[in-house]
Structures are given as structure tokens and as C-alpha cells.
Structure 1
Amino acid sequence: MIRLLAEGRELALSEQQVSRVKFWLCEVLSTARCRVTAGPGVGIVVLDREPDDLTPWLQRHVEEVIGCELAPDPGSF
């Protein structure tokens, strides 16, 4: 399972940003769905993929879309 949190805890995403993140993750990871919490406190979960499936390129791309760095989430949200 891939679980990520935005390092900017007060960050909130627009619907367009949420859609773009979901599109990129679903397309590149070939998964049917992922969960993106719009925030404040942005979180991303992809249940059917492993953390190693998230390439540095894809992580950077998602970070560009949301405007903040992502870090692994050790807990749940």
C-alpha cells in the first residue's frame, strides 16, 4: 500500500488538483482507484500498489501538481 502525506499540513487541494493527482496515479501505476484527501492535510492512498511502485519521477510530478513535498505516512488518515 502506498500512503503519503503532504508536508504542508495546512495545504488544501482544489477539485482540479485532486482530479489531476488521481489521473496520474491511476494511469502510471495502472490501478483502478486511489484515494486523495483534499485537506487541509492532504493525504494519498493507493491500496493495491507497493511503496516501491511510486517512482521518483511520479512522486515529483504529483508534488508539482499539489505544490508541496510528500512524505510516507506511517499512520492512517
Structure 2
Amino acid sequence: MIRLVAEDPAVRLDADQVLRIQFWILETLPALGCHVRPDPPIEVIITKHFADEVHPPLLEQVEAVAGCRFRVTASAD
């Protein structure tokens, strides 16, 4: 599992932002699932992935959509 947690606790996501984040992650990473919690603290959980990390360009895209920076952690599914 790869987990992205927003560094800004005040940011909220609307439905369009959630869909865009899910699209970018599922189209870019070899992953089978992506859950986005839109309310603070924003959290993106990528499950059943076949990559060890979120590449910087993808992370930058997710941060641009969300309007904040994310802390990334990875653990075994």
C-alpha cells in the first residue's frame, strides 16, 4: 500500500478533484485500487500496486490537483 497524506490539514477536495486524482494515479501506476478521502486530513491510499514509489512527476500532478503537498509512505499490502 502506498499512502499519501496532505501536509495542509485545512485542505478539502471536491468531487472533481477526487476523480482527477484517481484518474492520474490509476492511469500512471500499475495499481488496482485508489481511495481518496476528501475531508481533512486528505488521504490517498493506493492498493494492490506493483510499484514501490510514486514517481515525482505523478506526485507533482496530484499535488497540483489537490492544491497542497503530500507526505508519501509505503508498506506491504
TM range (shorter): 0.7 to 0.9
4+ runs deviating over 6 angstroms: none
Q: Unpaired runs of 5+ in structure 2?
A: none
Q: 1:50 to 1:32 in 2, by over 3 A?
A: closer
- What is the aligned-residue identity percentage? 34
Count of matched residue pairs: 74
1:67 positional shift: 0.3
Distance 1:50 1:72 in 2: 16
Unaligned residue ranges in structure 1 (runs of 5+): none
Give the 3 Å change call, closer, same or farther, for CA 24–50 of structure 1 in structure 2. Answer: same
TM-score, with length taken from structure 2: 0.85
Distance in 2 between the 1:32 and 1:51 partners?
A: 11
Query: Which structure has greater strand proportion?
Result: 2
Counting helix residues as a fraction of each chain, which structure ranks higher? 1
Q: CA RMSD in A?
A: 1.8
Q: Distance in 2 between matches of 1:39 and 1:66?
A: 12
